[in-house]
Amino acid sequence: MARLRVKELAEALNVDSPEIIAICILLKIPAASPLSSLSIEQSKEIIDYLQKTNPKSNIDKK
């Protein structure tokens, strides 16, 4: 199963790791540090949340 670290997702989306961790807390995704691993499904959930809250951002759906 493919996994992605919080810091890798943050870099890919051009946001800070603490922002990703805060979103994880809101979405009840277990991630406590930039080195926490996320599944592809969890990453998609975070991206969807960011797109809904920041519709003008440069986050492209992949």
pLDDT tens sequence across 9-26: 999 999 999 999 999 999
pLDDT at res. 56: 64
d(CA 20, CA 10): 7
The DSSP symbol for 38 reads E
pTM for the whole structure: 0.82
Counting as low any pLDDT under 50, the low residues of the chain are: 61-62
* DSSP H helices in 1-62: 6-13, 17-26, 40-53
Is residue 34 within 8 A of residue 24, CB to CB? The reply is no
Return d(Cα 27, Cα 24) in angstroms, integer.
Answer: 5
Residue 6: per-residue pLDDT: 95
